[in-house]
């Protein structure tokens, strides 16, 4: 039996397992632990493709497993987090117990994106629309920003139903928007081919170092902005 061919799918299943654990901690509103397991799941998600390419064992099964695992870790979990944020928000729009379920619009947007990604041949070298892992980290960071921020403005902003609803709608939109975004996955093992990814990684480390959890949404925003600049000026050296 060739063990190598099973390694990428095993890593993908570890992503799914992390998503399941994160769901449990979200249900307990232990968002920091949930964030950790989502981050770990995304780490596994990054390396399943890396090892699939390294061992040359890519196939349809791996593609489908990857999307199914992402659906939990980067689809259901952030929707569940937004549900709790809306449930604990100020009742500016509605105090109905049904209202927080609108948070799962993020899950619906994630599901549509993952399904479309599997049949969209344009997304082999880069992404179109925000990848679900990036959106998941953005949403998972919000309750942590609330917990650790000393800013009254930030606290009021992220407890506003209007703002949370806007974030929910924007998440569903940006996941499926026709905006080219550079891939974070390593395709070739050269500095030149990964220059943009290296610049983004360095910027991400600085933002998280100086702003802690508040740096996470800034990282995601920077990713989108860098992609827009890259599309305009071809920072990665590729012809657009």
SS3 128: strand
On the 0-12 / 13-18 / 19+ scale of CB atoms within 10 A, 122 is exposed
pLDDT tens profile 15-58:
999 999 999 999 999 999 999 999 999 999 888 777 776 667 77
pLDDT tens profile 92-120:
888 899 999 999 999 999 999 999 988 88
Q: 60, 162 in Cβ contact below 8 A? A: no
**Of 192, 194, 138, 202, nearest to 170 (Cα)?**
138
135: number of CA atoms within 13 Å, CB side? 36
- For tokens 């040359």, what's the residue? 56
pLDDT score recorded for residue 186: 61
Q: 93, 166 in Cβ contact below 8 A? A: no
What's the CA gap between 140 and 85, in Å, rounded?
10
> Which stretches of the chain are DSSP H helices?
7-27, 31-55, 60-71, 77-87, 105-119, 132-148, 152-157, 161-176, 195-211, 215-233
Report residue 239's pLDDT band, with 50, 70 and 90 as the boundaries: very low
Q: Dig out the tokens for 142 from the structure.
A: 């919000």
Q: What is the mean pLDDT of residues 151-156?
A: 91
pLDDT tens profile 3-24:
777 788 899 999 999 999 999 9
Q: 140, 35 in Cβ contact below 8 A? A: yes
pLDDT score recorded for residue 46: 84
Output 225 or 123, whichever has higher pLDDT: 225
**Of 206, 217, 201, 229, nearest to 135 (Cα)?**
217
pLDDT score recorded for residue 8: 84
Q: Does the global pTM surpass 0.85?
A: yes
Find residue 160's DSSP bridge partners: 90
Per cent of the chain over pLDDT 70 is 89
Residue 178 has pLDDT above 80, yes or no: yes
Residue 37 makes CB contacts below 8 A (sequence gap 6+) with 18, 19, 21, 22, 25
Least confident of 15-29, 87-101, 182-196, 216-230: 182-196
Output 49 or 213, whichever has higher pLDDT: 213
Q: What is the mean pLDDT of residues 87-91?
A: 91
């Amino acid at each position: 039996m060739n063990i190598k061919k099973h390694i990428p799918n095993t890593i993908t299943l570890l992503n799914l397992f992390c998503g399941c654990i994160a769901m449990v901690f979200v249900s307990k509103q232990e968002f920091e632990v949930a964030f950790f397991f989502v981050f770990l799941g995304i780490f596994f998600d990054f390396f399943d493709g890396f090892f699939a390419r390294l061992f040359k064992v890519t196939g349809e099964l791996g593609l489908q497993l990857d999307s199914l695992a992402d659906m939990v870790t980067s689809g259901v979990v952030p929707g569940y987090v937004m549900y709790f944020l809306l449930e604990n928000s100020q009742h500016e729009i509605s105090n109905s117990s049904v209202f927080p379920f609108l948070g799962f619009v993020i899950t619906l947007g994630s599901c549509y994106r993952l399904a479309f990604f599997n049949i969209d041949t344009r997304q082999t070298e880069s992404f179109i629309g925000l990848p679900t892992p990036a959106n998941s980290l953005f949403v998972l960071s919000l309750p942590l920003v609330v917990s650790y921020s000393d800013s009254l403005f930030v606290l009021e902003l992220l407890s506003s139903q209007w703002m949370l609803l806007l974030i929910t709608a924007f998440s569903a939109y940006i996941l499926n928007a026709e905006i080219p975004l550079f891939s974070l996955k390593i395709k070739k093992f050269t500095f030149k081919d990964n220059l943009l990814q290296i610049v983004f990684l360095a910027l991400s480390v600085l933002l998280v170092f100086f702003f802690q959890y508040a740096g996470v949404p800034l990282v995601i925003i920077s990713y989108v902005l860098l992609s827009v600049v890259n599309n305009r000026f071809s920072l990665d050296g590729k012809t657009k």
